[in-house]
Structure 1
């Protein structure tokens, strides 16, 4: 028995997220089918997270167990020969049998990209949130500091998902403006369901002067989802890296 770790990049546009679901196509489903065809086994992949429909990944991590005699490092090229062009295996390697890509994760980094132009884009439209209104970046930067540290993020979680606690630690939240793009990069020990997208939605409300930066702490303490901003669309979100 071998435990194989995969680093996966995918464009989530055509998929209903990572996790297998009934009557829809998911990234996990497509990779598992290819693995089953290659090995003749009934393989189940353990994924590092459950990205939503339309969300992308540059450094998703998965692992699976196999009795196959195929060298672990060869799974990368063999899978890439079978997978659709919007899913790529960046690396495959053997790891200890005890390794679990989900439960051994110590943290993740996500990015979210906003494009602020009068007209919607044609090229790259699946990787940004097109937002026409002007945003006050100074207010957004001021408010972003309130998310750093360990907090109860219940107000920034959509209903659904099973978690024992809503307390999470955000170690970094960087915001960069590059031409017409505003890029948010957020690193934490874990994220609740839609947490990143709701944080970004709340910061947009701050940039529109609908929420004061001083109110972020009050929203966190309230644990009330209705006090935070909207959940922004999934296309601008990308899982950059998983830490172990």
Structure 2
């Protein structure tokens, strides 16, 4: 589809099983060290991530993977999806997938999904980070002549 091409990853190598991908995602819910899904060069001092929700579902010809978390490691989603593709093709078992991230085996995570399929849906805060005075009184002003 020409209209969605810049926003999706066109993957034609083998059919994927969304139920297997969902089964692999479910154990990620909770607070975990996810160093296996962190690219080199990160300035983050730790690899703890609180994963709140995971979802994999078919939507027409598309497979939609959504992860909601307290934050994301550098390259986390691309590496995670790259490994989930192997699970969805049944090239990697659910047990092996879990073993890789639980034991922080970054050297096993070889494939990364392309950035074209990655989309940040929303950013949320427990509380709005700015007071109303700061938000309204200090907005930049532009004047056009």
Is the TM-score greater than 0.5? yes
Instruction: Provide the C-alpha distance between the structure 2 equivalents of 1:182 and 1:217, rounded to a whole number of angstroms.
Output: 21
Aligned-pair RMSD on alpha carbons? 1.3
Query: Out of 162, 165, 176, which is 2:57 matched to?
Result: 176
Cα deviation, residue 221, structure 1: 2.5
Q: How does 1:48-197 map to 2 (within 5 A)?
A: 121-132=1-12, 133-197=14-78
Deviations 1:80-119 (A, max 9, x none): xxxxxxxxxxxxxxxxxxxxxxxxxxxxxxxxxxxxxxxx
Q: Distance in 2 between matches of 1:176 and 1:217?
A: 20
Decide whether the 8 Å contact of 1:140 with 1:206 is kept in 2: yes
Q: Following TM superposition, where does structure 1 have runs of at least 4 consecutive aligned residues deviating by more than 3 angstroms?
A: none
Helix, strand or coil for the counterpart of 2:41?
Answer: coil
Task: Report the structure, 1 or 2, having the larger helix content.
Answer: 2
Tell me which of the two structures has the higher relative contact order, counting C-alpha pairs closer than 8 angstroms and 6 or more residues apart: 2
State the shift of 1:229 in Å: 5.0
Following superposition, the deviation at residue 180 of structure 1 comes to 0.3
Shift of 1:165: 0.6
Matched residues, number: 124
Q: Is the 8 A contact 2:18 2:57 kept in 1?
A: no
Offset at residue 161 of structure 1 (A): 1.7
CA contact 1:137–1:207 (8 Å) conserved in 2? yes
What TM-score comes out, normalization by structure 2 length?
Answer: 0.80
Q: Secondary structure at the match of 1:177?
A: strand
For the 8 Å contact 2:24–2:98, the answer to whether it is kept is no
> Which one of the candidate residues 72, 92, 98 is aligned to 1:211?
92
Alpha-carbon distance change, 236 to 192 in structure 1, aligned in 2, over 3 angstroms = same
Alpha-carbon distance, 1:200 to partner: 1.0
**Cα distance between partner residues in 1 of 2:6 and 2:25:** 25
Is residue 205–residue 229 contact of structure 1 (8 Å, CA) maintained in 2? no
TM-superposed deviation, 1:225: 1.4
Q: Which runs of 5+ in 1 are unaligned?
A: 1-120
Cα distance in 1 between the residues matched to 2:64 and 2:5: 15
